[in-house]
Amino acid sequence: MENLSAQKQNVFDNEEFFKGYMELRNGEINLNALLEQPAMEKLLPDLNNKSVLDLGCGYGHNCMEFINKGAKNAVGIDISEKMLEIAKKENGHEKIKYLNMSMTDIDTLNEKFDLIYSSLAFHYIEDFENFAKKMYSALNDGGTLLFSQEHPISTATFDGNGHYNRDENGKRVSYTMSNYNQMGKRHIRWLIDDVIKYHRTFGAIITALAKAGFIIDTVCEPLPEKWAIEKYPDIVKEYIKPCFLIVKATKVAF
């Protein structure tokens, strides 16, 4: 299992972190709901009678959505027991199986899927090259990988303190970050101190997928739509620096 240092840290079972995270995600104004999830939904393949693996499934809302879209079954895995408790209670279904395990142990599932999906979890993976190979092996021929993660511009700075620069009127005009080409572990504060994430460059992410055998279909750095800007005008900062990177790739049968 990765050591969050690729997931053993398991901050999501920290009571303070978990409370803060759920308050953030349950609020109407958050970037996941306004930007990342709408973009991910647009890139979903046809799920009718398909099998889905959700990596870092959290409280299971996407697993339930996959079933509602016609998937024949879904497996949601997460390292957090607290998240899975909510998933089983609020998003339980006879076609959904939830497993308490690390993402990097998917090679132990002995099962193949038509879609591997992950929302904002891969920046916790230390060895992404090896992980990409495991995902490729876990897909059926013609299967799809669709994932989002924090954008490499966001993960680059060692202390997580990249920042927007403002003009004399307080308007954001640019973004400052550093250490982009120095890949590796980052210790940051997010809800609690010393959350560990892993920074890798855009090129390293795409190359790892290509070397594993994936054909890249779409690379998306989502911009807010008009309705999102009307709901949360501050989201226009995404035009300066993207928060998210979304990749859709295919395992092609040769």
Provide mean pLDDT across the span 213-242: 96
Contacts of 184 (CB under 8 A, 6+ apart): 198, 199
Pick 11-250's CATH classification: 3.40.50.150, 3.40.50.300, 3.30.70.2660, 1.10.540.10: 3.40.50.150
**Residue 4 reports pLDDT greater than 50:** no
CA dihedral (180, 190, 248, 224) positive or negative: negative
| Contact (CB, 8 A) for 244 and 149 | yes
User: CA dist 102 to 4, 41, 57, Å?
Assistant: 10, 24, 11
What pLDDT is stored for residue 171 in this prediction? Answer: 93
Residue spans per domain, the chain: 11-250
At 14, the pLDDT band (50, 70, 90 cuts) reads low
The per-residue pLDDT for range 120-138, each reduced to its tens digit, is: 999 999 999 999 999 999 9
Higher pLDDT, 80 or 14: 80
At 5, the pLDDT band (50, 70, 90 cuts) reads very low
What pLDDT does 143 receive? 98
The answer to whether the Cα torsion of 49, 54, 60, 61 is positive or negative is negative
| pLDDT for residue 83 | 85
pLDDT at residue number 208: 98
Compute the average pLDDT of residues 13-38.
Answer: 71
The answer, yes or no, to whether residue 13 has pLDDT greater than 90, is no
Backbone torsion region of residue 153, taken as left when φ is above 0, otherwise alpha when ψ lies between -120 and 50, otherwise beta: alpha
Query: Phi, psi (5° rounding) for residue 44?
Result: -60, 135
Q: What is the pLDDT of residue 195?
A: 78
Region 73-102 average pLDDT: 94
pLDDT at site 26: 62
What is the average per-residue pLDDT within 4-20? 53
Q: For position 82, what pLDDT does the model report?
A: 86
Cβ atoms of residues 64 and 93 within 8 Å: yes
How far apart are the C-alpha atoms of 82 and 85, rounded to whole Å?
Answer: 5
Strands 172-176 and 184-190, by their bridges, are unpaired
In this predicted model, what pLDDT tens digit does every residue of 27-75 receive, in sequence order?
667 888 999 999 999 999 999 999 999 999 988 999 999 999 999 999 9
Q: Indicate whether this model's pTM tops 0.85.
A: yes
Mean pLDDT across 213-221: 98
- Report which of residues 208 and 24 the model is more confident about: 208
| Range from 24-38, 99-113, 175-189, 216-230 carrying the lowest mean pLDDT | 24-38
